[in-house]
Structure 1
Amino acid sequence: MSSFVVGHLYATTKPQRIGENQAFTGIWKDSIEVADLDEQGIKGDIQVDRRVHGGTEKALHQYAIPSYAQLHAAFPELAARMPIGSMGENLTVLGMHEGNVHIGDIYRMGSALVQVSQPRNPCWKINSKFDDERLAKFIATQHINGWYYRVLEAGSVQVGDSMDLMERFNPISLRNFLEVYAEHRPNFLILRSLARCQGLTPSWQVKIQQRMEVLQRL
């Protein structure tokens, strides 16, 4: 089984305002060394808009370190303002990315047990934070979304802890998952295999089922 190392941990302690409507957001996070986890994520982390962030199915957000290099290359004028940790994630882990992480993967992270639940949908707040309307679309089309975890067992984790893959149920990587879902007319059988991924968040199962129904009517 694969083993990785926790590189960074982040939490929001004070929400800030963003956008034309000056809505509160938790996308700006502070670096921390130790985190206590429960089913809602990092204790003390403020998740402002819980319609789209937080809750048991999106308790923790991870963004891949290599994705920053891709963003810096595509948007060099933003690179200095876009260090690791600026995508609103709770953690980065050395060596993990969409190509080697699968829906449903279970990891032992410090003393906590977590499971990959769904990809992240990049939203307007990323564009607004960096004042560039191209960012969210680029992230989505390049399939460098990042992903969420549910917490199966509460525990604590600190920077430098190992993150060990305990179980893998599905053969499809997150990148493959996102590529198939983004196709204009994906293969029906492959799309069905996405919906059946063990550990996938129910709301995503519904989204995929709806696409399957559309394909059947074509």
Structure 2
Amino acid sequence: MIIQALYAGKPQAFGPRQKPSSIIKTPHDQLTIELDGALEDEQGNKKLHGGPEMALHQYSLESYAVLQKRFPEIADKLTPGSIGENISAPDMNDENVYIGDTYEIGDVVIQVNSPRAPCVKINQRYKTKNVDVFVAQKGITGWYFRVLETGTIKVGDQMKLVHRLQNTKSVKDIIRLVRDKDKDLHARLIAAEIPALAKEWVSKLKKF
């Protein structure tokens, strides 16, 4: 997979309460990747975003098409980069990306560790209700990476899948298991043992 676009943002007043947020990002030709994320990408709320377990976010290009079909009135706003991701690349989605998938991008090594938990800022971003609910229901949240090796990534770089865990789950599988709390209890406990899964999502899977 070839990186088509990279995005980063700075905190700015956002939403009805005008609290700092970095969901609005701009295109960058390259990003400097550190353990906490891209140097160029500062977080407005460090309690909920960023850090080693949410260092980088990728959103599927295919998911934008799904959103455009469901919300045609804002189709022109539902464009790559608008939901707050850092990385855009083709042929990757919540069904074919798995927890623990490890990618090399030049010298940089990153590992998928969790879905994104959609929040109300997505609705505020598009000035439309229930976008966050739809994203969660459809399991098109995108995913977070942790950084294993730091360095610089550029538009046009290849994302090379170098390792996939055995007995892992797709990003969409994890979302489904967390949402269906009264079903597949055994499957939830098994998924909670995936070694690469972020602790926050391990806790969600074990919460009955």
> How does the TM-score come out when normalised to structure 2?
0.96
Distance 2:207 2:59 in 1: 28
Which one of 110, 113, 136 corresponds to residue 109 of structure 2?
A: 113
Which one of 122, 137, 162 corresponds to residue 141 of structure 1?
A: 137
Q: What letter matches 1:10 in structure 2?
A: Y
Q: Which residue does the alignment assign to 1:62? A: 58
Superposed, which structure 2 residues align to 1:139-178 within 5 Å?
Answer: 139-169=135-165, 170-178=167-175
Distance 2:186 2:45 in 1: 35
SS of corresponding position for 1:132? coil
Which one of 6, 9, 23 corresponds to residue 9 of structure 1?
A: 6
Deviation at 1:43, TM superposition (A): 1.0
SS of corresponding position for 1:186? coil
Is 1:110–1:158's contact at 8 Å kept on the other side of the alignment?
A: no
Q: Does 1:201 pair with 2:195?
A: no
SS of corresponding position for 1:81? coil
Deviation at 1:210, TM superposition (A): 2.0
Deviation at 1:196, TM superposition (A): 0.7
SS of corresponding position for 1:94? coil
Q: Which residue does the alignment assign to 1:185? A: 182
SS of corresponding position for 2:89? strand
Q: Which residue does the alignment assign to 1:89? A: 85
Q: Deviation per CA, 1:167-198, whole angstroms, max 9, x where unpaired?
A: 11143211122222211412121111110112
In terms of fraction of residues, the more helix-rich structure is 1
Distance of aligned partners of 1:195 and 1:184 in 2 relative to their CA distance in 1, 3 Å threshold:
closer
Stretch deviating more after TM superposition (26-35 or 167-176): 167-176
Distance 1:195 1:136 in 2: 24
Q: Deviation per CA, 1:142-181, whole angstroms, max 9, x where unpaired?
A: 1000110000000111111111111111432111222222
Unaligned runs of 5+ in 2: none
SS of corresponding position for 1:95? coil
Q: What letter matches 2:113 in structure 1?
A: S
Q: Which residue does the alignment assign to 1:215? A: none
Distance 1:113 1:124 in 2: 31
Distance 2:52 2:24 in 1: 21
Q: What letter matches 2:180 in structure 1?
A: E
4+ residue runs over 6 A deviation: none
Distance 2:158 2:125 in 1: 31
Distance 1:138 1:210 in 2: 23
Distance 1:82 1:188 in 2: 35
RMSD, aligned CA: 1.1
User: How many residues end up aligned between the 2 structures?
Assistant: 207
SS of corresponding position for 2:161? strand
Q: Percentage identity across aligned positions?
A: 36
Q: Which is greater in Rg?
A: 1
> How does the TM-score come out when normalised to structure 1?
0.91
